[in-house]
Chains A and B, each alone.
Chain A
Amino acid sequence: MSNVKEHQYGNEWIEILENLSFSEQERKTSNAIRFLLANSFPTRKTEEWKYSDLKWLKKIKFTQNSVFDEIFIQKALDTILTDDLKNVPRIVCYNGRYLKQFSTIQENPNFFMLVDYSKNESFINLKNALVALNKIFDNLTITVKFSSKNDMKSILCINLGNANTSRPCVFSPKYHFHILDNVQATILEINYGEGVYFSNSVYDIKLDHKAQLNYTYINKASKKSYYCTNTLIELSDHTKYKQFQLIKGSLFSRYETNIHLKGEWSQAEFDAVQILSDHQHADITSQVIHDVPHCQSHQNVKNILSDFSHGVFQGKVYVNRLAQKTNAQQQNQALLLSDHAEINTKPELEIYADDVKCSHGAAIGALDQEQLFFLMSRGIPYELAQKMLINAFINESIEKIDDSIIQNLLHQSIMAK
């Protein structure tokens, strides 16, 4: 009976692969393709995909080809590069290609920055369909090492996407960020683009002893685009990892974050704010694995959902038997601003150590009526009161970011249409 199923599911992938012009031969030699064919196409019956439907992947005939569009790139960079950001060393990519002429961080023989286009199937060990789908392509791998020998501490990654061919394109970049001992690094990533395209990226992030990383990810891409990310973050001892995601763009997007606390006394703090409208769908899925004692993880996800939008949060905290004295918190707050918006939340705790403090909470609903009344009783009209409360809701998350340039950028991104 199980053979029949494999065959069925396999067919769905075969169609997608054929459409992407993979030959019979390639199918045999690639482990990633073999993985796809051996596993079911994710459907809502798959637990991890309960609330997000990948069926568009079967419907849209994506292509790997794209056309270089310098006018678009120049225009996009003019919009993105505000005075604050102009002088930050940057890597600019366009439809999955590194653009040397627009980047201020160049390849470096001392391995601080590498660009590679060869197939890399051994890149991060995450077993899921989207990672496998990323690996089947010969595509960009960018490696950046932050070391004390190098004074590059803050970088800006700009990922541009543009649908300029008759068929929407798919691109699958891989990023490897490695923060060496005692280094404090900041990465700001801005995703921006126009039209229908699919960006399916994979991130491998490593923090060594006492390293720190502040990672801010902004999606303000077109509301027609598709974004999926898979991130593996491995934290050594005494590290501090801070991630903030602002999701405003894309028709469908899913951000899967795996944080692995492998060294004692480390901290991971990862927050996200989704601001969705129209028919947007955004899914924040995360797993934090506490493998060692004395670590902390804090997660706070906020969804602001209007029109027909759909927000998803699935977060899991896993505490291994050895990870005593773990402190793990998870919080999801969703604001439903329309009768057609929808939220699905699944905060999950899997705990095997007894001396831990773990908690999660979820609060879902409309704006607080008492707060609205209080503001109105002070003479503030309804619409303005509503706006103040929504901004306050978002501000709580942004206020936690130390960098005022990034704070400003986030505020601007939120205000922008």
Chain B
Amino acid sequence: MNMILEIKELHASVIDDTLKNGLKPILKGVNLSIPVGETHVIMGPNGSGKSSLSYVLSGHPSYKVTSGSVTFKNQNLLKMSPDERAAAGLFLAFQSPVELPGVNNANFLRTAVNSVRKARGESELDAVSFLKLARQLAKNLSFPADMLKRNVNVGFSGGEKKRNEVLQMSLLQPSFAILDETDSGLDIDALRIVAEGVNSLQSPSFSSLIITHHQRLLDYIKPDYIHILAKGRIIFIGGPELSLQLEKEGYARFLGEVNE
């Protein structure tokens, strides 16, 4: 089977200067493979390393991979800088999107789109065609028009920030998206809009990894597999029905089997 992402025995630490060796281990041997075209979900208790995994995959400077490998489209992902990963088609929708005071949203989006296009060997979009595209996509996400004129995420509500993430995803056209709790803090209508935004990217060549606590997003986006991440490792893999079971029973049954 053709894999888009293959994680093998991944160990990673967060850099913490207050500790003697400066590293606090978070991921302790993660194995995860995602075939092209599939949607996988990661669930797990708080503090299990879900967000850390998404940061490690996108190359956050606060994390250090201590051993293991990550192959993305047959390339060594860990050797690439965050922008190279984005150009290669990896997209992370942040759990808490960063505010950029003084950076105009439209300008930011265009710079991002053109950086990625340039890296992929595509021609850059001129201002007019970019704006046309951005406005169309923003409209699909029920974004007010002035959202493009404002500074990136500054003064945005929680829901607006999440929609802005999906807007960026739609513009950058990734082949693999990580959605880190993109559903949290959204009301029902916003959730549906966000899910539709994600679904609009679905194609046989698009894959995704969805980190969530709730079953409700999975009513809109149908996963192929659900993984349970606990204490830095994938401890269980199940089908789509697993989320319903977790919703009812919690993690306790699965956690009992984990040894440190």
Contacts and interface: CB of A to CB of B under 8 A. Distances in A.
Interface stretch (A195-203, A216-224, A236-244, A385-393): A385-393
Interface residues of B, number: 30
B102 A382 contact: no
B79 to A, nearest CB: 15
Contact of A374 (B97, B101, B151): B97
A292 B103 CA distance: 39
B100 A378 contact: no
Nearest to B111: A380
Interface in B22-43: none
Contacts of A377: 58-59, 82-83, 85-86, 91-92, 94
B7 to A, nearest CB: 18
A83 interface: no
B222 interface: no
B115 interface: yes
B81 A379 contact: no
Interface stretch (A30-38, A365-373, A405-413): A365-373
Nearest to A368: B98
Contacts of B119: 379
A376 interface: yes
Given A373-B60, A393-B102, A381 B83 contact: yes
B83 A379 contact: yes
A388 B92 contact: no
Contacts, number: 76
A388 B108 contact: yes
A395 B86 CA distance: 27
A393 B102 CA distance: 6
A375 to B, nearest CB: 8
A369 B119 CA distance: 23
A388 B103 contact: yes
B115 A392 contact: no
Given A389-B103, A392-B103, A380 B112 contact: yes
A392 B108 CA distance: 11
A379 B100 contact: no
Q: How large is the interface on A (under 10, 10 to 19, 20 to 34, 35 or more residues)?
A: 20 to 34
Q: Which of B59, B94, B115, B172 has the most CB of A within 10 A?
A: B115
B239 interface: no
Contacts of A393: 102
B101 A392 contact: yes
Nearest to A393: B102
A378 B112 contact: yes
Nearest to B151: A392
Nearest to B87: A379
B111 to A, nearest CB: 6
B166 interface: no
Contacts of B58: 377
Contacts of A384: 111, 115
B92 A379 contact: no
A178 to B, nearest CB: 36
A335 B255 CA distance: 46
A396 interface: yes
B144 to A, nearest CB: 21
A378 B103 contact: no
B111 A374 contact: no
The interface residues of chain A, by DSSP majority, are classed as: helix
A31 to B, nearest CB: 48
B15 to A, nearest CB: 11
Interface in B56-99: 58-62, 81-83, 85-87, 91-92, 94, 97-98
A389 B151 CA distance: 12
A379 B100 CA distance: 16
A394 B102 CA distance: 8
A375 B116 CA distance: 12
B168 interface: yes
Given A376-B81, A379-B115, A381-B115, A396 B101 contact: yes
B101 A379 contact: no
A51 B259 CA distance: 59
Contacts of A392: 100-103, 151
B94 A382 contact: no
Contact of A379 (B102, B116, B151): B116
A379 B90 CA distance: 9
Contacts of B108: 375, 378, 388
A24 B83 CA distance: 69
Contacts of B97: 374
Interface string B182-208: 000000000000000000000000000
Contacts of A376: 59, 81-83, 86
Interface string A332-371: 0000000000000000000000000000000000000111
A382 B85 CA distance: 13
Contacts of B112: 375, 378-380
A384 to B, nearest CB: 7
Contact of B172 (A379, A381, A395): A379
B53 to A, nearest CB: 15
A388 B85 CA distance: 20
B115 A380 contact: yes
User: Which 9 A-B pairs have CB atoms at the shortest separation, nearest pair first?
Assistant: A392-B102, A379-B86, A379-B116, A376-B82, A378-B112, A374-B98, A392-B103, A376-B83, A396-B102
Given A379-B116, A388-B111, 14 more contacts: A374-B98, A376-B59, A377-B58, A377-B83, A378-B108, A379-B83, A379-B87, A379-B172, A380-B112, A380-B115, A381-B115, A384-B115, A388-B108, A396-B101
23 contacts: A369-B61, A370-B98, A371-B98, A374-B94, A374-B98, A374-B100, A376-B83, A377-B58, A377-B82, A377-B83, A377-B85, A377-B92, A377-B94, A378-B83, A378-B112, A379-B83, A379-B112, A380-B112, A381-B83, A381-B115, A385-B83, A391-B102, A396-B102
Interface of A: 369-371, 373-382, 384-385, 388-389, 391-396, 399
